[in-house]
Structure 1
């Protein structure tokens, strides 16, 4: 048989997109082998491993791989009860279970058994790598073992067992002075000197410790003990353990403890959720986070390389809690309108920084600046627009015409002007005039001082032959020069109130086929136009028109709203998430979910930006508000790693043999070449950046050089690429 007819060399995979943090991600029994979590670790490649009472799980941010014991497979788990996990300094993963110890081989995607020289198959409860690189395992009833990594053998440390006067052990820890702490039954702790010659018994200042779950040293060299009876701090001068004060002196059921990269101490319990440690007061505090843990039973706790907390619960699976706070605020539509069929008509912020909106049942809603509390007014009309003018008057536009609103009484005063007309948009010009879009009838200019009203439609004759191109204006904007821009169903027009004529625009013809829903003037005086065919940038000085759409990286060609950061970045709401164009390079970054974002589909022309910079978008599910300059620019992301390979839709490991040779000569993450045979008609690759906070905002770009070299992109949140019936030879992806 001919071999290696298709050789794929992996040279480059470009990851694009922006990974904004989602504060809470939950994974239950539908993904995990079991929802009873025992332990969680992260390996050198970034995989998160989750040990349970029924199997082991590997997670790359996209895909869970479940491992179980299989009597027909000697390379499977030796037992499904996972008691201990350790990733050593060489990057190897050790798995302690109810029937022994194994080493995971990523190349073979298999487990290698450690032979216990004395013939035992003990339950391995904890693992510790010493400063020498030696690994010790403590067991239930068989004492401590030292692991010979080369021989894959475990030898009983009889001398250490004798120093402990016991072979029943729960936990082990080596401190920075290389002394070894071993937890024994009945709350006893033995500390062995670094030369392994002597041992001393560590005692507490109060009651017996009970079972010890964790012994650790914090960043300042202090040793802590987490036991059933509570949290203890070792005082070397007084040679005793000092018990920390517990909330309300209640029993909290300590199950473990971690020290984060920033030195924070967290305690997980079996009946009171999560606590943080106040070191100065030697007291525990209820964890202050966005996740309500209450009386949750937390059996495992881990901080990953990105400082996210992973919380393993009893029958609740795993929760990842991001270390980043939410930067987008969201007010759900259901808060003030539980009825189906209603939708937001507009969003606006007044001069007192309150947010206003309306729903299609005659209700006007005022929301506090923090987007928490709200007040509802029954006004009888379906309000389409609002303006809080320079004199403090609140104007409302509805299907019934133009009104003034008295906030103190909650009443509206309908003006005879434009009565019975649908007022879609109201703005105030630099000349203090009101400019009002009237659906189907163009727009109107209203002089508040004299009460004079001038209506302009597509048949209105002005000083020049230029006329309004379309009467259905969706958006009105007054720019810094006092010009009035109108976005309608045939592009845009620009009106000069001083000359009382329309300005001839070089871009009008190019925009004529498109519907305009959003307008913005940026800090350079450029006009941004959001349409149903993407985003346009018009330079009034050079008359140049630039276009940005899906091909340029935008998430959708339907642009619903526009805003700008103080740094010059342009923000868009679309039918498929939010979009950001970095200034000045115009690099596009998309935002879909996470970091407080809930909506993915936004409403046309329902947006507002206040003078201080806050932007508000109206979406199908509610209002999203944020300060654009508070959203960090794209930070360096982990390089994409090849994590899974599928041949004819069946997953294979790197050591799989085809035609007498292995597919790859290294683990997938480090493989640079994959060899296939002509029989492999369909094959797929999965990649991961090991970014666990928000995969929905990540997409991958890739290309096959021999097939034209065209860059293609996965959908956001997708990490698999598939090829069918490729030509023979060496191909570069």
Structure 2
């Protein structure tokens, strides 16, 4: 009888350990304001070599894993940033880093640690607000114009004028099909632009003027957000596949500040509700959230931007008032710092 009881005990212990190991857990490392990081991080980009670039309205930063180097506009230095407000950071297929600022576009030259101005066909500084990578070329937009840069010519040329009755400030461009871009404006919603003639036409998504963020995933599903309305998933024809909000108890917050896709899951940074990870296959949501008193939880609940590079495990999050956060998947968690009797710290998962 004692032998059977001992075997039962070890069997139960093994099952508990196995369940603990399989539980979703994340490790967080915060690089805060006290370490020189800006409080509001608007953009993040990680290079293949591991450097992490971040931006705020006060300039640009390069993080090597140990220290942050900051870059600002300097009137006396022609190879400094042309402007301190960063619109986009992107690496092309030849591993050239493009930085779009409020006063011009530059290439970063790592050997000299300089920023080289990008000029148009007339020799003038290119002022672009968004960049989109396509096979063999890059498309940029600014002042209702579409520009093209080909890897063969290595020269920016004006492609066409976007036909619009009023200015439409594009902050993001996403390929829609072989000759159409889905263009997103921060305050004017979305529109489709034909890259052959510059014609604008409505997208199939309803209430397109109210849309604030759009993500097209690897399965061609369209994830869209509107202010304080959560997230809606559409097909290419504009039919709703799923909705996620606080009303149906799927999200922790309805104000979505950013969207990204990683390993088939949709990550959403919220304005006070942490990070919501949508699992489309099961229609479930994992919530990463700061829990007071639990230092193992997400350090801060307002997430402005997210970045994950294909083939890498790390997620980088830019917070509101909390600097930069590195997130890694883990199967180990320590409870040594959880206050006695504090039940939040003993949950294996910080999600619903």
Q: Residue 145 of structure 1 is aligned with which of 121, 126, 147?
A: 147
Asked if residue 157 in structure 1 is aligned to residue 151 in structure 2, the reply is no
Q: Which residue is equivalent to 2:138?
A: 135
Match of 2:258 in 1: 256
> Aligned in 2, Cα 1:333/1:255: closer, same or farther, shift over 3 Å?
closer
Q: Does the C-alpha gap of structure 1 residues 335 and 273 become closer, same or farther in structure 2, counting only changes over 3 Å?
A: closer
Map residues 289-368 of structure 1 onto 2, 5 A cutoff.
291-292=297-298, 296-304=301-309, 305-326=311-332, 329-332=334-337, 335=340
Q: Return closer, same or farther for 1:313/1:333 CA change in 2, 3 Å cut-off.
A: closer
The Cα of 1:120 is off from its aligned counterpart by: 7.2
- Partner of residue 183, structure 1: 184
Matching residue of 1:212: 212
TM-score (norm 2): 0.74
TM-score between the two structures when normalised by the length of structure 1: 0.38
Q: Distance in 1 between matches of 2:144 and 2:36?
A: 31
CA distance in 1, matches of 2:88, 2:191: 21
Shift of the 49–70 alpha-carbon distance from structure 1 to 2, 3 Å rule, reads same
Q: For each residue in 1:359-390, what CA deviation from the matched residue of structure 2 results, as whole angstroms up to 9, or x when unmatched?
A: xxxxxxxxxxxx959xxxxxxxxxxxxxxxxx
Give the match for residue 43 of structure 1: 47
Cα distance in 1 for residues equivalent to 2:169 and 2:232? 22
1:403-414 alignment runs, 5 A limit:
none
Q: Which residue of 2 aligns with 1:73?
A: 77
The one of the two structures with greater contact order (alpha-carbon pairs below 8 A, sep at least 6) is 2
Q: Please give the alpha-carbon distance, in whole angstroms, between the structure 2 residues aligned to 1:165 and 1:174.
A: 23
Give yes or no for the alignment of 1:277 onto 2:278: yes
- Separation in 1 of the partners of 2:67 and 2:78? 25
What's the CA shift for 1:111? 0.4
Between the aligned partners of 2:288 and 2:195, the Cα distance in structure 1 is 36
The structure with more helix, counted as a fraction of residues: 2
Cα distance, 1:52 vs structure 2: 1.5
| Deviation of the 1:217 alpha carbon | 2.7
Counterpart in the other structure of 1:29:
33
Q: Secondary structure at the match of 1:73?
A: coil
Do the aligned partners of 1:244 and 1:283 also contact (CA within 8 Å) in 2?
A: no
Q: Distance in 1 between matches of 2:149 and 2:158?
A: 9
Structure 1 gaps, min length 5? 1-20, 337-370, 374-733
Listed as ranges, the matches of 1:221-232 within 5 Å are: 221-228=220-227, 229-232=229-232
Find 1:54's aligned residue among 55, 58, 62: 58
Matched pairs, number: 310
Residues in 1 aligned to 2:185 and 2:208: alpha-carbon distance in whole angstroms: 12
Cα displacement string for residues 223-280 of structure 1 (whole angstroms, at most 9, x for unaligned residues): 33344354333323x44566723122697222221111x2111011233321122425
CA positional deviation for 1:146: 2.3
Alpha-carbon distance between aligned partners in 1 of 2:27 and 2:103, rounded to the nearest angstrom: 37
Superposition pairs for residues 64-103 of structure 1, below 5 Å? 64-103=68-107
Alignment match, 2:266:
265
Alignment of 1:518-529 (within 5 A): none
Q: Would the aligned equivalents of 1:48 and 1:59 in 2 still touch at CA under 8 Å?
A: yes
Q: Which residue of 2 aligns with 1:439?
A: none
Contact 1:34 1:52 in 2 (8 A): yes
3-state secondary structure, aligned to 1:129: strand
Quote the RMSD (CA, aligned, Å). Answer: 3.6
Larger radius of gyration: 1
CA 57–125 in structure 1, closer or farther in 2 if over 3 Å, else same: same
2-side partners of 1:43 and 1:49: how far apart? 8
